[in-house]
Amino acid sequence: MSGSVLYVYAVTGSFPGSLAVAAGLRGAPLRAIASGPVAAIYSEHGIAPEPDEELLWSHEQIVEELMEGSTILPMRFGSTVESPEALADWLKERREEFSVSLKRVRGAVELSVRAQLPAAAKVDEKARPAWRSQPGTAYLLERARRQRRSEDAAARIHRPLAALARRSMPKAGAGDRGAFKAAYLVDEESVEAFGDRVGELNSTLVDTKVSCTGPWPPYSFVAEAQR
Amino acid sequence: MSVDRAQAERRRERDREAWRARNEASRERQQRGVSRALRDRDVSLLDLVDRLLDGGVVIHGDITLAVADVDLVYVGLRALISSVEAIERETGVSITAAGPSLKASAL
């Protein structure tokens, strides 16, 4: 067993039927180890696979196959343990937490939304009262105005989408640079409606291109609070 | 003898059938994945990187092997990250400022 690596893909509440058919990274067979109501899906490798873009897509495809017909919590890319015993211990230690999380994401998928918010229009300098044109004041006012504009624009995208989602997760730092980025946990039945609403946003919001990708495994919703 | 051969032939035919069905299913899955990615391939890559390197369940503690050390993973992904940065320039969507997933841009 020494010198081998277990590459972990997901934690699941049931043994996915696809386990027998699907193969892991580099074609390695998928295996499962259970602890009470939860199980971890992994494959065994002589050495940890060298990460590259190809491997990211392979990892994603495997996780998506596991997601078909079962509820899963995807692992972060590159999660490895040294032995089945270590994996079993880890699983046992956190199985309560995983049971709760699995319940939370059951029947739902993650959708990702990005948008570049329109740049705020320049204020007409001459129209400003003199006190507002002091360099420091003007700077702060301008900053506050941009901030407001950006928050408004983000809310116009977020609110109608959040209404269709079970949960949502704003992505840190995204609003700051005029970019909107958020993840939504959406019931499988609502995915189409969500896509339609993104389309509506694109046709009603001028200067804003909203793009949506998915369905993804619930990467952003594996824990109750933000990491 | 010929009965055996006929049986073997039937078995082979069945195996081929099963193999074709499996292949078909896997191709279909792949096509679904690909067509979805193609909808917006560049943005999909950004989202993929965001999710796989910054989302998901994390294994804490010393059971994580040194070979899976996050820094090493990032080093291996350096080429990918620079292509992501190129995409970022083209699409104008900023991601390097956001997640710790892209700390690698400081490499």
Cα dihedral sign, A46-A49-A55-A60: positive
Matching residue, tokens 């997933």:
B101
- A37-93 pLDDT, tens per residue? 899 999 999 887 777 777 888 889 899 888 887 899 999 888 888 899 999 999 999
Q: Which helix (H) or strand (E) holds A187?
A: strand A179-187
Q: Which residue has the higher pLDDT, B65 or B49?
A: B49
- Closest CB from A65, A79, A213 relative to B68: A79
Cα dihedral sign, B64-B65-B66-B70: negative
- A14-27 pLDDT, tens per residue? 765 556 667 898 88
Q: Is B46 on the interface with A (CB under 8 A)?
A: yes
Q: Is B52 on the interface with A (CB under 8 A)?
A: yes
- A204-214 pLDDT, tens per residue? 988 788 889 88
Backbone angles phi, psi at B35, to 5 degrees: -65, -35
Categorize the per-residue pLDDT at B81 as very low, low, confident or very high, splitting at 50, 70 and 90: low
Q: Which residue has the higher pLDDT, A196 or B43?
A: A196
Distance (Å, whole) CA A76 – CA A63:
11
Look at residue B83 in the predicted model and tell me its pLDDT: 52
Distance (Å, whole) CA A73 – CA A220:
10
Q: Which of A113-117, B3-7, B35-39, B69-73 has the lowest mean pLDDT?
A: B35-39
> Can you read off the two tokens belonging to residue B36?
């979805």
A143 touches A150 (CB < 8 A) = no
> Can you read off the two tokens belonging to residue A55?
């491997």
Interface probe for B, chosen from A211, A222, A224 (most Cβ of B below 10 Å), is A211
Which residues of A, range 83-122, sit inside 8 Å of B by Cβ? 86-87, 89-90, 98, 110, 112, 114, 116
pTM above 0.80, yes or no: no
Which residues of A, range 3-22, sit inside 8 Å of B by Cβ? 5, 8, 11, 21
- A184-204 pLDDT, tens per residue? 999 999 999 999 999 999 999
The residues, ordered by sequence, that sit 6+ positions from B86 with a Cβ below 8 Å of its Cβ are none
Distance (Å, whole) CA B105 – CA B46:
13
Q: Which residue has the higher pLDDT, A202 or B78?
A: A202
Q: Is B23 on the interface with A (CB under 8 A)?
A: no
Q: Rounded mean pLDDT of chain B?
A: 55
Q: Is B42 on the interface with A (CB under 8 A)?
A: no
Look at residue B21 in the predicted model and tell me its pLDDT: 58
Distance (Å, whole) CA A34 – CA B56:
19
Distance (Å, whole) CA A170 – CA B46:
16
A43 touches A31 (CB < 8 A) = yes
Instruction: For residue A13, give the DSSP letter.
Output: S
Residue B68 has pLDDT above 60, yes or no: no
Look at residue A104 in the predicted model and tell me its pLDDT: 94
Matching residue, tokens 């096509």:
B31
Distance (Å, whole) CA A68 – CA A217:
10
